[in-house]
Structure 1
Amino acid sequence: MTVVIRAFRSADARAAAEVLRAGAPYQVVTPELLGWQATSAPAAERHALLVAESAGELLGVARTGLLHESAEPGLGFANVAVHPDRRRRGAGAALLSAAEERLAGLGVLTAYAKVADDPAATALAERRGYRRGRLARLLHLDLAAAELPRVPAPSGVRLASAAELADPRALYEADLDVSRDEPGEVGMDEISYDDWQAAYWGRPDLDRSLTSVALVDDVVVAFSFALTDGRDRYQSGMTGTRRAYRGVGLARPVKLTALRRARHAGYRHAVTSNDANNEAMLAVNRRLGYRVVGGEWRYRRELRR
C-alpha cells in the first residue's frame, strides 16, 4: 500500500480531527481549530499541517512550525499522529521525515516532538534519534459527577470572566509572566501582543465566557483558560498565577469558577495536562477530583549544527 505525504487542504479538516481524537481521545480538537490554524496562525510560527494519505483515506497528521515564543532561535516542532487502526503501514515514519525536511528548510536546528506515552510511539521517536525529555500527565474529570465547591477569592480579589475584560492586554501580561517559569523543555517567554492575540485570543476553541480571571483592580493576577469543542469537552488551556501573587490561594478558586461555568454550559468532560514534576498544580487538580488517564513525552532531536 502506497502512503502519500502532502500538504493539508481545508477539506481534510474533519478527517484530520478524527485522527487526532482517535489517538488522544481526551484531547479537545475540532475541524474548526485545524482549519483556523492552517490559515490564521501567527506568521512567526510558520505553521503548516502535513497529512499521510493512502487510497483516498487520511491515515495521519503532522503539525509543524517554529517555537516562536521562545527567545532561543532555531527551535521548531514536529508533532505526528497516526490513527490507531492505521499504524504499522509506514505513515508515521513518512510524516516525521517530511516534517523534519520542512523544519530544516526553515532553518530549525532543534526539533521538538510531543509523543504519546505509548511503546510504539516512543520507539519510533527513539529510532529516529530523538531523546526523551519531560513527561506531561493528562488528567480527566467527570464534570457531571464532580464536587465543585465555591471557594472565595482572597480579600481584595475579584473573580470575573475573560469576556468581561475591557482590554485583553491585561490577560496577555499575566500569561507572559506565568509562562516565563512554567515547567517545560522550552522557555515560552517571547511573544508580542499582536502574536498573542492571533495565537490565543482569536482561536476558535477559546471560550472567553468560561475563561476565569482573578483581578486586583484592573490587573489580572491569576487565570484559567477554557478551551472547548462546542459539544461536551472542556480543556484547561493553562491555569496560572502571577509570581507576585503566588501562595495566597488563587489557583483553586479561578479553576473551580471555570469548571462550574463549564458544567453549567453543558460540558460533561474536563481535561487538563500538567508537567509530571509540577507537584503544586497536580495537587490542586487531585483535590478537584482529576485522575490521570495518559501521558505525553517531550522529545528532541538536533537536525543540524
Structure 2
Amino acid sequence: MTVLVRDLRPDVPADVAAFARVRHLALPFILWTPEAVVHNLVHAHPDARNRSLVAEEDGEMIGTAQIGLVHDSPEPGQAYLNVYVRPDKVRHGAGGLLVRTAEEYLAAEGATKLFAWVLDEPANLAFAERHGYERRRSAHFLRLDLANGTLPPLGSPPPGVELRTAADFADDPRPMFELDAETLADEPSDVDIEFTDYEAWLAQTWRHPLLNRELTTVAVVDGRPAAFSVAYTDGGTRYSTAMTGTVRAHRGRGLAKLAKTDSLHRARAAGYTEALTGNDTGNGPMLTINKWLGYEICATEVRHVRELG
C-alpha cells in the first residue's frame, strides 16, 4: 500500500466530493459540502497562502488537510493545519505524511507557530504529542434533535428591539460585517483575528454557500444590528450555528439568546431535523444558553500548538 500527498483539485468534482466525504466521516459535527470545500479554497485571501491537501492510498482518498497562514491576525508568523483521516484508514501513514508536508510548506511561508485542532480521543492526542504539539484550549461540539426535541418558547423582544434576518441586509451588508467583526474579536481563542477587509468578508463569509440568510436572525436596536445567530444549512436536513454574538454595548440583555432561539424555531418550521453548534469550553454564557435550548455535547476538540525553531 502506497500513500501519497497532493493538492486538492477544486475543478474536479469527484475530487471535491471525496474531500467532503472524508471530512464528514472524520468530523460529522461540522457541515461539509463540495460547494463549501471549493468556496473555502478558492476565496481564501491570497495572503493566507491557503492550501487543501489530500492523502491517497493506492488512488483512494483517505485523508485531508487544510493549511494556511493566519493573515488577519496582528501577530505575524501564525499558521494553522487541521488534519483529518478517515476513521477506517488510520495508522496507514496518511496523517503523518500530511503533517510533514504541511509543516514544510508553512515553514517555507514564514510560519513560526502552528495551531491544530485535534479530537479529544486518546489516539488523536497521542498522535499530536508524537509530532511535537502541546495541548491548549478545548471546544465542544453540541447537537440538538430538532425533530424530536422540545425548544423553549420564543419570548417577545425587549422594547426597542426588532428581530429581522440577514436577508433584510442584502442591499447593504456592511452593518452585518461590522457586527461580525466586533463579536469575533471578543470570541475566546488562542489567535487574535481582526476583520478589516470588507471585500474579503463579502467574498468569504457573506457569499458562503452554506450561509442561510433567511434563517440567520438579527436583533436590531435603533436600526443597527446588535446581535445575531448565523445559520448554515447543507441543502438537506442539517442546520448549524456558525456564530452567535452581541456587540459590547448591548450585552447582558439576552439578545443573543433571543436571536438563537428565534433562528432555531424557524429552522425547525422549515423542516430541518438536526442542529449543530460548537463552543469554547471556557465560554460559560454560551454553553448555558445552549444547554437551556436543549443541546447536548457530542464530542470535544483540543487546540494544539507547535513552535517552529
| Length-normalised TM-score, structure 2 | 0.95
User: Which string of whole-angstrom CA distances, capped at 9 and with x for unpartnered residues, describes residues 75-96 of structure 1?
Assistant: 1110000000000011000001
Alignment of 1:128-139 (within 5 A): 128-139=131-142
Q: Is the 8 A contact 2:39 2:204 kept in 1?
A: no
Q: Where does residue 208 of structure 2 map in the other structure? A: 203
Say yes or no: does 1:162 pair with 2:160. no
* Range moving further from structure 2, 260-269 or 188-197: 188-197
User: Which string of whole-angstrom CA distances, capped at 9 and with x for unpartnered residues, describes residues 10-39 of structure 1?
Assistant: 331111111111111222111111112222
SS in 2 for 1:172: helix
Q: Is the 8 A contact 1:3 1:54 kept in 2?
A: yes
Stretches of structure 1 that go unaligned for 5 or more consecutive residues are none
* Paired letter, 1:126: E
Q: Where does residue 281 of structure 2 map in the other structure? A: 276
How big is the shift at 1:146? 2.7
Q: Is the 8 A contact 1:154 1:249 kept in 2?
A: no
Q: Is the 8 A contact 2:241 2:276 kept in 1?
A: yes
Q: Where does residue 4 of structure 1 map in the other structure? A: 4
Q: Is the 8 A contact 1:140 1:270 kept in 2?
A: yes
* Paired letter, 1:257: D
Q: Where does residue 152 of structure 1 map in the other structure? A: 156
Q: Is the 8 A contact 2:48 2:70 kept in 1?
A: yes
Q: Where does residue 98 of structure 1 map in the other structure? A: 101
Identity %, equivalent residues: 46
SS in 2 for 1:103: helix
Inter-CA distance 45–152: structure 2 relative to 1 (3 Å threshold): farther
* Range moving further from structure 2, 60-69 or 279-288: 60-69
SS in 1 for 2:116: strand
User: Which string of whole-angstrom CA distances, capped at 9 and with x for unpartnered residues, describes residues 240-296 of structure 1?
Assistant: 011110011101110011111211222111010101011110000000000000011
Say yes or no: does 1:70 pair with 2:59. no
Q: Is the 8 A contact 1:68 1:191 kept in 2?
A: no
Q: 1:19 aligns with which of 14, 22, 40?
A: 22
SS in 2 for 1:107: coil
Alignment of 1:110-149 (within 5 A): 110-148=113-151, 149=153
Q: Where does residue 179 of structure 2 map in the other structure? A: 174
| Length-normalised TM-score, structure 1 | 0.97
Q: Is the 8 A contact 2:65 2:81 kept in 1?
A: yes
How big is the shift at 1:190? 4.0
How big is the shift at 1:218? 2.5
How big is the shift at 1:102? 1.4
Distance 1:38 1:182 in 2: 24
* Range moving further from structure 2, 279-288 or 115-124: 115-124
* Range moving further from structure 2, 237-246 or 161-170: 161-170
Q: Where does residue 54 of structure 2 map in the other structure? A: 51
Stretches of structure 2 that go unaligned for 5 or more consecutive residues are none
Distance 1:259 1:153 in 2: 16
Say yes or no: does 1:298 pair with 2:303. yes
Distance 2:160 2:31 in 1: 34
SS in 1 for 2:23: helix
* Range moving further from structure 2, 23-32 or 235-244: 23-32
How big is the shift at 1:110? 0.7
Distance 1:129 1:282 in 2: 31
SS in 2 for 1:197: helix
Number of residues of Structure 1 aligned to a counterpart in Structure 2: 304
Q: Is the 8 A contact 2:176 2:225 kept in 1?
A: yes
Distance 1:59 1:66 in 2: 24
Q: Where does residue 191 of structure 1 map in the other structure? A: 196
Q: Where does residue 39 of structure 2 map in the other structure? A: 36
